[in-house]
Structure formats: structure tokens, C-alpha cells
């Protein structure tokens, strides 16, 4: 909606023009629009908008009232009848309104979420001209979001289409601010280093300060949030921060907080020139490695397709020692990055567009189920209202007026449901935000009208069939006696609606079970299930990296610390990639290299397939022992590489064992070839990065406190940084976990709706067959028999629904599972479980009414008229 001053919102105008009577007779949108413009000019826009939408919504309601009146049915009478129906049939009304309300709540919440996901990065002024350059490493067939240091400047120089180009790389370290009295450590320890062009490409506005300072080294820009947190009331600009006890940064600007729908999330920006000192100049001027994200903004009239074509043909100059490496570059538009999963070295969070499709489809299905509930019940209850309809017809009501009446009724239900849904959304939103890990808002000004229209549509969809069906009755037939069986077509429709509902519900249950199984499998296999609590401590202090033994000894003083190991990488992220050259073989091979200590294999339960693991007693193990995983062993030129010598990273090595493949990265990818060697190979003592500790589950906070206190004795500048291994694993699979959470939510809702529908339907059948049941009982039918009679129909439908649902779920889940290199097999057990579960639910939903009918006293049931 374009917000030009002085014009009424387009949506409102369209809505008003739908009110044909007002529009034709009174020129409604003209009047309301004219006064809106006046109010907009006089007072605030938001007040005018509030007034405007109040008028529009009321006009919708009034024309609705008028049109019912218009058709000859007095509004009072209509409302009276509807209210009377609601009162008389509280249960029925409750089921209808609750069903529609729940459906609308789901719809509103999910639309808010989906809309948010789809707006990623559209706040940049030039968002359509911004691209990231990705690299496709043909040799290894890997795609990287990261590119080499020299790419940005080369593109800017050699490609006329490129207006700005900037590199971005994440770095971490600890900032301290001291104002003479107090020392404050920043808890934010990751930040982006960016080239000066960054400010021209993206729209991250400054609140204060000078963006051109990005050219200088050791310059920081901090977000408003950080400024408020650490410099309450002070002006942070010009303040200096010490960094890792070694360098000094100066704050030169304050950024507006980065919007939540930005792919790049940061609180601190540093100038790229800083890295000349931190890393050394040569790291910023080479054609090796994929360390940097390269962003470009194209010229206004540049043709992205032509740029892409040229980019793909671009061959980077070879770097000494890496002549054989070759990347093909390609561009990815900024707005697609959020949905472009599957690249290495992403700097921000990505989502899978397929998840959005799944969620959208599910929202639609849930709304459909809610509508079907209404339709089913309304047609089922038709016989109850035959006399009312008949009388109306005899007195002279036309078919149109009856249709209008019944549609009006369903609209009224939808509107009641709508108001309940809005309240519920307001209440549920904080919880939903927590569930989805987002910060969504519901705006009464702009969102309310949209969902109002949605609920009107729901009302019409739900009421359309019943309206035509109910109004088609012949009065003569109606009065000759209520037909005992309702017409075939409607009962088939009703049954197919119930079956569809169950198809959807069962499919959702099945999908959910499969997703849960897969997530279980992922987290269990990421690092084998120990039954112990594993805490990883990051050695973020360089001095401690070299001398971690004393710290480790101190940690182990605690009786709660049961075992420990030291490694260079986090156990879930062994990222070093190297060439490994075998002695006497020309061709090298690629491996991931993980320096670990002697206890690593026992600690993480790694199984040695052949050979042996490194042992402290073997004098040479420290210097040259190397253990390959199965994948690496298979890729080697040897049948059995044990005992073979090789060179990696400048150090001699000899293979002493083969370890079974294990997942040292996420299960999205195949296990890569891996070589493990000792931390001290080549006398490289700085190689310790993480300490892993197994702690007992007794008094975990106490243990953590002990560890932290110990840490502080060793390092005063750097904070104690720890993580639970299982939480780290969960974090890797957060998109999946989020999907599973939202699907759980959906499934519960779908089950609830299906149960409501089923409950209503059984109540209705039981009620209609009261007399029949009474007679059967008088003639000697047992309660069991009656129960079976009432249930068997529905059981039949549920079974039919499973037959339809399973292939659907199976197909959808097969597609989803393709995301993972390692995945579960979809077993028959899951389907069996889903069937049993849905049958149970169905029986539970029906049993109350069926049992009541089956055990009732026939005297009562036969006397009920």
C-alpha cells in the first residue's frame, strides 16, 4: 500500500467499492475518502487512518445489515433467529465458532510469520541492485558464499557494471571499555569487518557519526542497542575500547539497530583496514581461500544477466602454490540469500523456501478444515431446520432471500470467530514469537482489515454450500413429514468432507512423526549419545591456548568433572581443509585436519576400525601419528594406508589407524575425509582451541560456577565461554527444529478441529437416530452393539483417509529428507503408529456421544418427542 499523503488507502477504497449498494446509491468511497483526506491534512495520519478504518468496517457491517433488510427479511428477525439457534444449540454453535476461530488464529499467526520471512532484506534502498558473489569450486564441487580477498577490488576495477564492491568477514574478540572507575566487558564478541563501500551498498543508517571513517583502521561502528547498553547516557563517539588486551579501537559512529529481517545481523562493524594489522597485509591481498563475503551493487542501468555472463567467464589470476585451484563465480541477489540454503561460509541465517511452501499449504488446509466443519454441521443439521425453512417459503420468502439468510448466518459466525481470533492472537503472539524465535507484531491499523476480509471469505466459503442446499428444499415435501434419510448427494458430500479432514490430519501426524524421527536421528548422530553432559570451553585467550594444561588440571580438581579432552576445533566443526601428499605418490588428496589429544577417541567414543589409536606411551605418536577416517582411507591410493607415510601442512605423518566415520559436521553433508593427529605435532603448542569436559548431572550450576571461577584465576581479561554440546547440536538444526515446532502446533490444531467436527457429527447422528436406537434397545440390542453401529461408519472413513494420506505424506517427506545426506528410512512402524493414533483420536472424539446414546434408557429416547 503506497502511503501518499492525502489519499485514502487503496485497500480501503477497494473494500468500499465492494459495498455496491452504498457505492451506487450514496457514493460511499467518495464521501469517506473525501473526509479522510481532510482529516489527514488537519491532524495526524494515524488518527485519520484509525477513523477511516472504523468507518470502513462499520460500513461493511451496516451494508450487510441493510442488505438483509433489503431482501425482505428483517435484520431483527434474522438476528433473533440466529441467536435463538445459537442458544438452543449451544454445543453446535460452540463447535462452529471455536472451529472457525481456531482456524483463523492459525491463519493470522502463520501469515504474519510467512510475510516476515518473505520481506528479508527489502528495506535496502537499492536492494534489487545488490548481489553477493559466490564461488563454485569445480575441483571439489563445493559452493561457497565466501570468496577470495582480491575479488572485490578486481570486480570494481574490471567490471564497468559494478558501482560499489565491498568485502565482509566475521571476526571475533573481546572488547573492554574502561571509564576510569569501572571495567566493562562486552558480551558481544563477534563482529563484521567491512570495506568502505559497505556503507554505499547497504542501507544501515547511522544515527550519529561519520560513515567515511570506515576507511581508517581500528574504527568501530556500534548499534544503538550496544550504545544504550554500555554507555548509558554518555555519547559513545570518540570513546576507545581495548580489544583482546592488545589493540585499541575508537568508536566513530552509532548505527540504527539492524532490522530483524536483515540477512546480515550485527551489532558491531569494524573497518577492513583493521585486519591489515590483525591478520597481516598479505591475507588481504591474495587469491586463496574463501574467507570473505563479496557484495556488489550494480550501476543503475546495468543488465544483471550480462553481468552474470561476464562473471561466469571471469578467471582469477593464479596464486603461487595454488595454480590448480579454480573457482567459477556467480552472483546471487541479496533478497534471495535468505532462501538460498546450501552454501558454505554463510554469514547469516538462511531459511529453506520449501519450508515456507509447506507452511503456506498447511495454513490453507487448516482453514479448509475449519470451513468444512461448518459445512458438515450445517448440512447435517438441515433436517432440524426443515420446518423453519418450509414456513419461510410458504410465507413467501424467495430462494435468494433464504440464501442470503443462511450466508448471513455463516458470516455472522465467521465475524464472531474473527473477534475471538483477534483477541486470541493478541494473547498468543508472545508465545508464538518464542516458539518461532521471531519478533512478529500484529498491527491493528494495517493487518486488521486484511484479516477481516479473510474471515469474511471464510464465512462465505463455509456457508455457500449449506446456503444453496438448505434453500433448495421443497416446502411441500418438508411438510409432508421430515424425510428420514437426507438426500444422497449431501451425505456423500458430508462424508467426503470428513474424510478430507482426516486425510489432512493423518498426513500431518505422519509428517510430524517422520520429521521428529529425523531430527532425533540428526541430533543423536551428530555426536554420539553419551548419557553424559558434555561442556565445551573455548580457549579464547592466546596465552591459555599455549598453556592449557594447568587450567585443565585445575578444572579436573572438581569431583564433578569426570573426563576431559582437548582439541583444536570444536568437535562439531572440524573445518581445516588441507592437501595431503603421500610419500612416493604424485597426486595429493584433500582432507580435513583435526588436531586432538590422546583422550579424544575415548572421550567421544570413536571406534577404531583397524590399527590403533594414538597412545601417550608411544614416543613417536606426538610427532607424527595420524589417524584417518574410513572416507579418507578409501580415497587414499592404498588398499590399506596403515604404516604409509605422508606430508600434511608441512609436517611428516605416518598413518597408525583407521577410525570409523563419524559426523564432525552437520548431517546435511556427506562425511568428508578426515585426518586426526596430535595437537603437538611439529611442536605446535598453540593448537589447543577447545576443552571438552564431561560433567555429572549433579549440581550443574555449581560445577559451572566452579569452572568459571577457575577460569578467572587464569585469565582476567577474557571471559569464560562455554556451551553444552547438545545445545550446540540443536543450534545447528534450528531450521528443522523450528519447522517441527510449527508443524506440531499445526497438527495439534488440525487434530482439535477434526475432533470438533467428528464430535459434532456424531452428536448429530446420535440425536437423529435417538428413536431408532431406542427401538433397537427395546428389541434387545446391547449397548456394545449400538456403540459399534454408531462408530463403524466413522472408523471406516478414518481407515479410508489413512489410505489416501499415507502416500501423500510419504511423497512429501521423501522430498524433504533429500535435504540430508544422512537420513532415516521411512518405516512401516511410523504409518502404523499414525493409524493407531488417529483411530484413537477419532474414537475418543466420538465415544462421549456414542456411549451416551448406547447406554441411554430407551424409555427416555422413545418419549423424547
Partner 1 sequence: MKELTLLEQMILAAIIALEEDAYGVSIRKKVEKLTGKRLMYGTLYNALDQLLRKDYVSKTKGTTSTARGGRPRIYYALTPKGKNALRTSYDLQKAIWKSIPGFLGD
List contacts with partner 1 (CB under 8 A).
7-8, 13, 21-23, 25-35, 54-55, 58-63, 65-66
Instruction: Please report, for residues 546, 595, 678, the alpha-carbon distance to residue 623 in angstroms, rounded to integers and kept in the order given.
Output: 17, 12, 7
Please say which residue, 4 or 619, places its beta carbon nearer to partner 1.
4
Minimum Å gap between C-beta 52 and partner 1 is: 10
List, in sequence order, the alpha helices (H) in 285-352. Answer: 304-313, 334-337
Please say which residue, 58 or 431, places its beta carbon nearer to partner 1.
58
Minimum Å gap between C-beta 56 and partner 1 is: 9
Return all residues near 146 (Cβ < 8 A) that are at least 6 apart.
135, 289, 290, 291, 292, 293, 344, 345
Minimum Å gap between C-beta 67 and partner 1 is: 10
Minimum Å gap between C-beta 5 and partner 1 is: 15
Please say which residue, 8 or 501, places its beta carbon nearer to partner 1.
8
How far the first Cα of the chain sits from its last, in Å, is 59
User: What are the b/e assignments for 194-212, b being 16+ CB within 10 Å?
Assistant: bbbbbbbbbbbeeeebebe
Specify the residue for cell string 579454480. Answer: 326
Please say which residue, 8 or 589, places its beta carbon nearer to partner 1.
8
Minimum Å gap between C-beta 108 and partner 1 is: 25
560 near 699, Cβ under 8 Å?
Answer: yes
Q: Which residues pair with 561 in a beta bridge?
A: 695
Minimum Å gap between C-beta 15 and partner 1 is: 13
Please say which residue, 55 or 564, places its beta carbon nearer to partner 1.
55
Please say which residue, 38 or 441, places its beta carbon nearer to partner 1.
38
824 near 519, Cβ under 8 Å?
Answer: no
Minimum Å gap between C-beta 77 and partner 1 is: 17
Please say which residue, 53 or 218, places its beta carbon nearer to partner 1.
53
Minimum Å gap between C-beta 85 and partner 1 is: 25
Please say which residue, 54 or 807, places its beta carbon nearer to partner 1.
54
Longest dimension (CA), the chain: 107
Minimum Å gap between C-beta 10 and partner 1 is: 10
- Return phi, psi of residue 561, to 5°: -85, 115
Minimum Å gap between C-beta 76 and partner 1 is: 13
Please say which residue, 29 or 345, places its beta carbon nearer to partner 1.
29
Minimum Å gap between C-beta 29 and partner 1 is: 6
d(CA 773, CA 853): 8
Closest CA to 224 of 195, 200, 192, 251: 251
DSSP string, 309-327: HHHHH--PPP-TT-TT--E
Please say which residue, 58 or 357, places its beta carbon nearer to partner 1.
58
- 3-class DSSP state of 415: helix
Minimum Å gap between C-beta 817 and partner 1 is: 53
* The C-alpha cell that represents 421 in the structure block: 481470533
310 near 331, Cβ under 8 Å?
Answer: no
Instruction: Please report, for residues 2, 382, 581, 610, the alpha-carbon distance to residue 645 in angstroms, rounded to integers and kept in the order given.
Output: 70, 86, 9, 17
Q: Roughly what angle, to the nearest 10 degrees, separates helices 10-18 and 447-471? A: 20
Closest CA to 677 of 554, 564, 568: 568
d(CA 52, CA 524): 56
Q: How many helices (H) and strands (E) does the chain have?
A: 30, 24
Please say which residue, 192 or 452, places its beta carbon nearer to partner 1.
452
Based on its alpha-carbon atoms, the radius of gyration of the chain, rounded to whole angstroms, reads 34
Minimum Å gap between C-beta 42 and partner 1 is: 13
Rounded to 5°, angle at Cα 39 from 33 and 40: 85
160 near 299, Cβ under 8 Å?
Answer: yes
Please say which residue, 66 or 420, places its beta carbon nearer to partner 1.
66
Minimum Å gap between C-beta 59 and partner 1 is: 4
DSSP state for residue 129 in the 8-state scheme: G
DSSP string, 357-410: HHHHHHHHHHHHHHHHHHHHHHHHGGGGGHHHHHHHHHHT--HHHHHHHHHHHH
d(CA 216, CA 214): 6
* The C-alpha cell that represents 572 in the structure block: 562439531
Q: How far is CA 693 from the centre of its chain?
A: 32
Number of Cβ within a 10 Å radius of residue 708 = 14
Minimum Å gap between C-beta 426 and partner 1 is: 24
d(CA 833, CA 800): 16
d(CA 338, CA 158): 28
Minimum Å gap between C-beta 2 and partner 1 is: 14
Please say which residue, 63 or 597, places its beta carbon nearer to partner 1.
63
Please say which residue, 2 or 313, places its beta carbon nearer to partner 1.
2
CA dihedral 472, 476, 478, 482 (to 10 degrees): -140
Closest CA to 628 of 615, 618, 613: 613
Please say which residue, 22 or 787, places its beta carbon nearer to partner 1.
22
Please say which residue, 66 or 554, places its beta carbon nearer to partner 1.
66
Please say which residue, 22 or 243, places its beta carbon nearer to partner 1.
22
- Return phi, psi of residue 290, to 5°: -120, 60
Minimum Å gap between C-beta 100 and partner 1 is: 24
Q: Is 242 exposed, middle or buried (0-12, 13-18, 19+ CB in 10 A)?
A: middle
Minimum Å gap between C-beta 73 and partner 1 is: 15
- Return phi, psi of residue 318, to 5°: -70, 150
Please say which residue, 63 or 267, places its beta carbon nearer to partner 1.
63
Amino acid at each position: 500500500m503506497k502511503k501518499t499523503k492525502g489519499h485514502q488507502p487503496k485497500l480501503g477504497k477497494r473494500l468500499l467499492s465492494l459495498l455496491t449498494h452504498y457505492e451506487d446509491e450514496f457514493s460511499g468511497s467518495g464521501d469517506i475518502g473525501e473526509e479522510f483526506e481532510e482529516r489527514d491534512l488537519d491532524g495526524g495520519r494515524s488518527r485519520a487512518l484509525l477513523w477511516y478504518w472504523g468507518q470502513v468496517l462499520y460500513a461493511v457491517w451496516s451494508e450487510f445489515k441493510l442488505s438483509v433488510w433489503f431482501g425482505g427479511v428483517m435484520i431483527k428477525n434474522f438476528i433473533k433467529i440466529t441467536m435463538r439457534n445459537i442458544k438452543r444449540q449451544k454445543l453446535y454453535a460452540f463447535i462452529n465458532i471455536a472451529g472457525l476461530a481456531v482456524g483463523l488464529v492459525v491463519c493470522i499467526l502463520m501469515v504474519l510469520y510467512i510475510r516476515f520471512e518473505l520481506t528479508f532484506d527489502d528495506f535496502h534502498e537499492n536492494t534489487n541492485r545488490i548481489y553477493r558473489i559466490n564461488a563454485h569450486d569445480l575441483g571439489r564441487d563445493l559452493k561457497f558464499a565466501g570468496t577470495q580477498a582480491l575479488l572485490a577490488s578486481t570486480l570494481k576495477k574490471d567490471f564497468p557494471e559494478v558501482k560499489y564492491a565491498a568485502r565482509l568477514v566475521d571476526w571475533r574478540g573481546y572488547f573492554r571499555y574502561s571509564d576510569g572507575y569501572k571495567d566493562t566487558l562486552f558480551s558481544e564478541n563477534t563482529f563484521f569487518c567491512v570495506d568502505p563501500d559497505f556503507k554505499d551498498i547497504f542501507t544501515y543508517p547511522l544515527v550519529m557519526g561519520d560513515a567515511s571513517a570506515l576507511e581508517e583502521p581500528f574504527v568501530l561502528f556500534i548499534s544503538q542497542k550496544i550504545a544504550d547498553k554500555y554507555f548509558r547516557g554518555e555519547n559513545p563517539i570518540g570513546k576507545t575500547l581495548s580489544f583482546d588486551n592488545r589493540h585499541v579501537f575508537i568508536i566513530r559512529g552509532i548505527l540504527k539497530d539492524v532490522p530483524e529481517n536483515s540477512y546480515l545481523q550485527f551489532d558491531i562493524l569494524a573497518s577492513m583496514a583493521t585486519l591489515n594489522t590483525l591478520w597481516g597485509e598479505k591475507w588481504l591481498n591474495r587469491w586463496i581461500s574463501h574467507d570473505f563475503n563479496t557484495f556488489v551493487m550494480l550501476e543503475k542501468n546495468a543488465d544483471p544477466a550480462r553481468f552474470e555472463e561476464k562473471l561466469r567467464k571471469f578467471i582469477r589470476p593464479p596464486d603461487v602454490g595454488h595454480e590448480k585451484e579454480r573457482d567459477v563465480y556467480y552472483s546471487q541477489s541479496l533478497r534471495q540469500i535468505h532462501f538460498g540454503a546450501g552454501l558454505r561460509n554463510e554469514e547469516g541465517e538462511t531459511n529453506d523456501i520449501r519450508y515456507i511452501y509447506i507452511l503456506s499449504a498447511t495454513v490453507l488446509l487448516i482453514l479448509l478444515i475449519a470451513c468444512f466443519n461448518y459445512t458438515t454441521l450445517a448440512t447435517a443439521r438441515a433436517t432440524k431446520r426443515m420446518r423453519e425453512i418450509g414456513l419461510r417459503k410458504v410465507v413467501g420468502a424467495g430462494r435468494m432471500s433464504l440464501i442470503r439468510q443462511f450466508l448471513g448466518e455463516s458470516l455472522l459466525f465467521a465475524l464472531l470467530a474473527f473477534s475471538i481470533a483477534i483477541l486470541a492472537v493478541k494473547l498468543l503472539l508472545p508465545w508464538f514469537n518464542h516458539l518461532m524465535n521471531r519478533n512478529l507484531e500484529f498491527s491493528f491499523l494495517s493487518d486488521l482489515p486484511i484479516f477481516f476480509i479473510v474471515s469474511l471469505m471464510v464465512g462465505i466459503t463455509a456457508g455457500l454450500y449449506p446456503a444453496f442446499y438448505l434453500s433448495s428444499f421443497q416446502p411441500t415435501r418438508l411438510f409432508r413429514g421430515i424425510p428420514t434419510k437426507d438426500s444422497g448427494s449431501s451425505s456423500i458430500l458430508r462424508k467426503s468432507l470428513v474424510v478430507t479432514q482426516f486425510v489432512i490430519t493423518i498426513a500431518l501426524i505422519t509428517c510430524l512423526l517422520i520429521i521428529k524421527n529425523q531430527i532425533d536421528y540428526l541430533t543423536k548422530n551428530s555426536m554420539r549419545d553419551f548419557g553424559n553432559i558434555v561442556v565445551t570451553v573455548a580457549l579464547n585467550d592466546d596465552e591459555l591456548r599455549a598453556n592449557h594444561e594447568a587450567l585443565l588440571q585445575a578444572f579436573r580438581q572438581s569431583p564433578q568433572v569426570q573426563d576431559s579432552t582437548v582439541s583444536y576445533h570444536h568437535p562439531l566443526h572440524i573445518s581445516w581443509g588441507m592437501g595431503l601428499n603421500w610419500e612416493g605418490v604424485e597426486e595429493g588428496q584433500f582432507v580435513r585436519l583435526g588436531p586432538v589429544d590422546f583422550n579424544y577417541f575415548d572421550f567421544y567414543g570413536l571406534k577404531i576400525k583397524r590399527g590403533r589409536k594414538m597412545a601417550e606411551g608411544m614416543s613417536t605418536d606426538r610427532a607424527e601419528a595420524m589417524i584417518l577416517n574410513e572416507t579418507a582411507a578409501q580415497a587414499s591410493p592404498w588398499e590399506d594406508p596403515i604404516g604409509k607415510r605422508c606430508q600434511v601442512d608441512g609436517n611428516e605423518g605416518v598413518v597408525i589407524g583407521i577410525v570409523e566415520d563419524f559426523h564432525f559436521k552437520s548431517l546435511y553433508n556427506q562425511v568428508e575425509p578426515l585426518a586426526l593427529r596430535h595437537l603437538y605435532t611439529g611442536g605446535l603448542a598453540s593448537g589447543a582451541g577447545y576443552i571438552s569436559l564431561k560433567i555429572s548431572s549433579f549440581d550443574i550450576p555449581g560445577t559451572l560456577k566452579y569452572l568459571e571461577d577457575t577460569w578467572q584465576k587464569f585469565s582476567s581479561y577474557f571471559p569464560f565461554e562455554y556451551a553444552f554440546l547438545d545445545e550446540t547440536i540443536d543450534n545447528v538444526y534450528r531450521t528443522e527444529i523450528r519447522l517441527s515446532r510449527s508443524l506440531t502446533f499445526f497438527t495439534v490444531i488440525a487434530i482439535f478441529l477434526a475432533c470438533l467436527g467428528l464430535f459434532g457429527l456424531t452428536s448429530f447422528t446420535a440425536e437423529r437416530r435417538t428413536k431408532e436406537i431406542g427401538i433397537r434397545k427395546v428389541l434387545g440390542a446391547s449397548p456394545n452393539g449400538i456403540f459399534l453401529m454408531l462408530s463403524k461408519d466413522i472408523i471406516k472413513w478414518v481407515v479410508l483417509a489413512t489410505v489416501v494420506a499415507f502416500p501423500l505424506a510419504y511423497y512429501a517427506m521423501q522430498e524433504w529428507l533429500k535435504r540430508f545426506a544422512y537420513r532415516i528410512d521411512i518405516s512401516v512402524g511410523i504409518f502404523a503408529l499414525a493409524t493407531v493414533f488417529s483411530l484413537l483420536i477419532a474414537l475418543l472424539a466420538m465415544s462421549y456421544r456414542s456411549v451416551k446414546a448406547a447406554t441411554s434408557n430407551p424409555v427416555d429416547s422413545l418419549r423424547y418427542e
